[in-house]
Amino acid sequence: MQTAYLLIGGNIGDSKAYLAEAKNLIENKCGQVINASSIYSTAAWGVTNQADFLNQVLVLTTKMNPLELMQALLHIETSMGRIRAIKMGPRIIDIDILLIDDEIVNTDLLRLPHPALTQRNFALIPLKEVAPELIHPVEKKTISQLLQQSADTLDVQKLS
């Protein structure tokens, strides 16, 4: 059994409802969601002329290996109507694997830890909420330490 840390997010339509749907599909198809962060609102990162995103971190226990999990998550995105038209553009749902235990993977399909994790507060802040002492397997620092060192200036707001 492995522990995976997923970031789910979106900015099209009823994003809260899409996050809940994604969480249910992940639990039905991939493993047990054992923890979930609050939902956070963040201005778009990269392509900035679009609606704010809602994001949430899920902690999942799974029997799937990292590539099987990635394939299952891509299938969930597609089943929910995700269309990959513009890189970093608007989307109904986005599901990223941030970390799986201390796995380091580098394939065309998947890179672990997520290569941009240390540069994105919209991922670090909800991850810190559920796993502040988790050690990044490459940086060898806790999520709390990585957040303190982050140069990202985008505002990340916890929804009430």
Q: What is the pLDDT of residue 86?
A: 74
Active site residue 82: yes
Q: How large is the C-alpha radius of gyration of the chain?
A: 14
Q: What is the pLDDT of residue 69?
A: 98
The catalytic position among 94, 101, 102, 111 is: 94
CA contacts within 13 A on the Cβ side of 28: 8
Active site residue 14: no
Active site residue 94: yes
Domain ranges of the chain: 2-158
C-alpha 74/C-alpha 69 separation (Å) is 9
Q: What is the pLDDT of residues 57-116, one digit of tens each?
A: 999 999 999 999 999 999 999 999 887 777 777 899 999 999 999 999 999 999 999 999
Over residues 15-34, the mean pLDDT reads 98
For domain 2-158, the question of CATH label 3.30.70.560 is answered with yes
The pTM of this model reads 0.95
Ordered DSSP codes for the chain: -EEEEEEEEE-SS-HHHHHHHHHHHHHHHT-EEEEEPPPEEE--SSS-SSPPEEEEEEEEEESS-HHHHHHHHHHHHHHTT----STT---S-EEEEEEETT--EESSS-EES-TTGGG-HHHHHHHHHH-TTPBPTTT-SBHHHHHHH------EEE--
Q: What is the pLDDT of residues 31-61, one digit of tens each?
A: 999 999 999 999 988 788 899 999 999 999 9
Q: What is the pLDDT of residue 89?
A: 77
The catalytic position among 84, 96, 108, 111 is: 96
Over residues 130-153, the mean pLDDT reads 96
